[in-house]
Structure 1
Amino acid sequence: MADTDRRAAAGVLVTPALQAAVATLPAAMTRVVGYHFGWLDAAGQPAGVYRGKALRPAFTLAAARAVGADPGSALPAAVAVELVHNFSLLHDDVMDRDTTRRHRPTAWTVFGTDNAILAGNALLTLALDLVASEVAATRLLAAAVQELLGGQAADLCLERRTSASVAEAREMALAKTGALFGAACALGALAAGKRAADVDRLTAFGRQLGLAFQFVDDLLGIWGDPATTGKPVHSDLRSRKKSLPVVAALNAATPESDRLAALYGRERALDEDELREAADLVVAAGGRAYAQKQAEALVDDALASISDLAPEASADLAALAGLAVRRER
C-alpha cells in the first residue's frame, strides 16, 4: 500500500467518527468548526470533504496495529488527537493573524476572532471528553496539550525577540509539534492495553517524527507552493517567524546572517523583493540545508527506535514517517 493510501485509509475510518463527534457540539460551534474542516461553506451549506492531512490520527491507528491491536480500538483516541490538532490551528490562525488555510479564508476572518476562539475551546473540550473513560489516556492527552501550549507561547515569545538560539527554537518546536505526535502514537498503544514500555517507545518515536515534521513544515512555510500548501509563498518570512531554518541561518555568523537579521529587524512590512531576498539569505546562510538534514536524521532515529518490532507490524508507522517528511503541504 502506498504511503498516501495508508493516510487515506485512516481518513476513511476517522472522518465519519470525527463528523459524528463534531455534531454533538452546540449549533453555533458546528458551523464554525464545519467550515474550518472544509465540510461547510461560510453560509453553513455542505461544501465538500475534510481537507486536513489526517496524519496524526493515522499514527494513532498505526501505533495500535504495530502492537497487535485492532486499529478500531484506538478510533476514539485518534479522533481526539485530530480535534486537539484543529483546536490548535484555530487558535494559531488567530494569534498569527493568518488569513488563509487549506486554500480558504481562515475561520476567524469569516466568523470573527471570538467565534474562532470559542470553536477551538469546544474542540479541546470534546477531545478530552472522548478519552475521559480512560484515566491514563486523559492524563496523557492533557499533558500533551499543556506542552503544546507551552510551545505555542515560546513561539510567540521568540517572534518578539531579536535573537534566539538553535537550541531554543528546537525545544519550542518539539513542544509545539512533537508533543502531540508523541501522544498520538502513545494513545494507540494505550488503546491496545499495552505495557508502559511500548507506550514509552512509541511516544519517543512520535516525538522525533513530530520534530521532523516541524522542520519540513518550516521549509514549506518559506518555499512551499501556494497552490499546494494553501498559504502564500514566504508566509513565515512575512510574519517574521523564528522558524527552525531561519534561526539556524541567523546563528550562522555569516554576512548573510547579518543581512537577514537586518531585514527581520525592520519595523515595516517587508515587500515582495525583500521577502525573496530573505528566502535567498536563509539558503545562503545554510538554514535550508540544516533543516533538511535534521528532518532526515530525525526520521532515521525514529525508525531505529522501533527497529525491534516485526517489519509487518511497523510497516504502517514506517510508511507514515516517510510521508511526514516527503510532503508538499
Structure 2
Amino acid sequence: MSTIAENRGEPVTPVTPAVDTAGVAALLERGRTLTTPVLRAAVARLAPPMDAVAAYHFGWIDAEGRPTAADSGKAIRPALALISAEGAGAPAGTGIPGAVAVELVHNFSLLHDDLMDGDEQRRHRDTVWKVHGPAQAILVGDALFALAGEILLELGTVEAGRATRRLTAATLRLIDGQAQDIAYEHRERVSVAECLEMEGNKTGALLACAASIGAVLGGADDRTADTLERYGHHLGLAFQAVDDLLGIWGDPVATGKQAWSDLRQRKKSLPVVAALADDGPAARKLADLLAADAKKTDAEFMDFDEAEFAARAALIEQAGGRDWTSEEARRQHATAVAALSDVDLPERVRAELTALADFVVVRQR
C-alpha cells in the first residue's frame, strides 16, 4: 500500500506490547476512585433535571432514577491526569481537579456525539438522547462543558489558569475534529492525512490535555507539560486507531455497540480510508459500493442486512485497511512512549505512562 506510506511520519518500529494487566487495572481503579466523588459533587451542582440526566449518563442511576453500578467507562483520562501530577513531583491528588475537568469535557462530547451520530447504545445502555430526548442531551452536554472550566478556575491559582487555557485549547480542537468527522461522512474520498488530522483533533487533543494537566497543576514548566502533551497526542491517535478497528470488527458484547457500528454510520474511519488508498480490486469494489451507498437515504441504508455490512468489512480487510490500521496503532504507541525519553520523570511515573500506552493498543473495548 505505497500510497499510504507517505503519511507515516517519522520511522518508528511498531511492536505489540506485553501488557501488565494487573498494574494497569490498579492505575485505572485509582483514577476512578479518587476522581468519582469529586465528579459526583460537581454534577450535583447542576439544576434539575440536568443533574439526574447527567447521573444517568455517567451510569450512576438507571432511567427511573434508581442507583446502579453500570459501566462508567475506562477512566484512562483520570488515570493520566493523576500520574501527570506525580510526574511534576506533586501528590497524585493535585491532579484531581484536572482529571474531573477533562472527564466533564469528554462526557460533554459523548453526549453530543451520540446525538449527532444517532447512536442508541453506549456502554450497553440506551444513550441519553434516546431516554431523555435530544434537548436534554444538548443542555446537559453544554452544562458539563461550562462546569469543567469552573472546577479549574475555582482553584484560584496561576497553575489553574494555565491548566484552563490548555483545556480550552484542547476542547476547541476536539470540536474541530467532530466537525471534520461529520463533514467526511458526506465526502466520497478522504485522504489518510486528513483522517489522521481529524483523529488527532477529536481524540488526541483531550488525551494530550489529560496527560499534561496534572503536571501543570503541580507546577511543571511548559517544556515538561508540552512533552507530556506530545505523549498524550500520539497515545490518542493509537487509541482512536484501535477504536476504529473495534467500530467495524469489535465484539458487540464487549463494545456495547451494534455490530459494524461505524459502517452503519458511514464513517470514513481509518480502516476505510486506508483501504480506499489501495489500488487493488477490493479497494475499487469498495469504492463503488460506498459511492452507491452515498446516494441512498438514511432509511434505505439502515435497511441493509448484516450480510451487506459484513461484505463491506471483508473488502476493507482485503484491501489492507485492517492490517494497516493495526500497524498504525502500534506505531503511534511507539511514538508516544518514545516521547517520554525527552523529559525527566521519576522511573515509576515513566513505567506507568508506558503501561497505559500498552493497554490502549491491546484493549478490546
**TM class by smaller structure:** over 0.9
- Report the equivalent of 1:326: 362
Distance 1:201 1:217 in 2: 24
Q: Deviations over 1:243-290 (max 9, x none)?
A: 011110111122111221222231131321110011111111111111
- Report the equivalent of 1:45: 66
- Report the equivalent of 2:33: 12
Q: From 163, 169, 184, give the equivalent of 1:143.
A: 169
Once structures 1 and 2 are overlaid, which stretch shifts more, 299-308 or 208-217? Answer: 299-308
1:54-73 pair list within 5 angstroms: 54-73=75-94
- Report the equivalent of 1:23: 44
- Report the equivalent of 2:205: 179
1:275 aligns with 2:309: yes
Poorly superposed stretches of 4+, deviation over 6 Å: none
The 3-state SS of whatever aligns with 1:42 is coil
Shift of 1:131: 1.1
**Contact 1:68 1:313 survives alignment (8 Å):** no
Q: Deviations over 1:225-255 (max 9, x none)?
A: 1111100110001111000111101111221
Shift of 1:316: 1.5
Q: How many residues align?
A: 329
Q: From 153, 161, 165, give the equivalent of 2:179.
A: 153
User: Where do 5+ consecutive residues of structure 1 fail to align?
Assistant: none
- Report the equivalent of 1:128: 149
- Report the equivalent of 1:253: 279
1:91 aligns with 2:119: no
Distance 2:263 2:111 in 1: 21
Q: TM-score, structure 2 length as denominator?
A: 0.88
Distance 1:254 1:35 in 2: 47
2:188 partner letter: T
Shift of 1:3: 1.2
Q: Deviations over 1:192-235 (max 9, x none)?
A: 10111101100100000001100000000011111111001100
1:218 aligns with 2:240: no
- Report the equivalent of 1:232: 258
Shift of 1:184: 0.7
Q: Deviations over 1:75-101 (max 9, x none)?
A: 011011011100000000000001110
Shift of 1:49: 4.9
Q: From 109, 112, 129, give the equivalent of 2:130.
A: 109
**Contact 2:88 2:219 survives alignment (8 Å):** no
Shift of 1:64: 1.2
- Report the equivalent of 1:162: 188
Identity of aligned residues (%): 48
Shift of 1:59: 0.7
User: Where do 5+ consecutive residues of structure 2 fail to align?
Assistant: 1-21
2:351 partner letter: A
